[in-house]
Structure 1
Amino acid sequence: MSIEWSGGYLDDNTAIAVLSREGTDEEVWWRHYTVDTRTGAVTGQLNVITMDPNDLKPLGDGTYLVTDADGTLRRL
């Protein structure tokens, strides 16, 4: 199991971290979590489905981009 930096901030006080697992049994899963940048506390899980652990792109204004199953970018 590992924690990855997903490459951005959701807003001024919130970063996104990804908890992922790639085991020898070929099971792969990941979850996106919000982290308070002032305290380092995990503040919640983003209930979003992404194509891969790094598909979510925070835009810094409280929104983010993800790719739909058909390849269309969506801003949420």
Structure 2
Amino acid sequence: MNINNKIGFFQWFNQEKGLGVIIPEDGSREVMLDIIWLDEKREKQYKSLENGQKVVFKVERGHKVTTVLDVVLI
């Protein structure tokens, strides 16, 4: 497994479903965010995310799946 910190922005985020897509600044492939993967204490904070917001995010690349482990607004 490979864990990386990246900078990107939300292409879209659905507050009702807690799902979104992050576009990395480095041109790598977009990643899907599901807030159920994140720390329960931060879940309420992520419900207020909006399209276009810039973030630092941590991803874990497995053999088949890339998972967003953390997101911080910048």
* Structure with larger RCO (C-alpha < 8 A, sep 6+): 2
- Pick the structure with more helix per residue: 2
Normalised by the length of structure 2, the TM-score is 0.32
- Larger Cα Rg: Structure 1 or Structure 2? 1
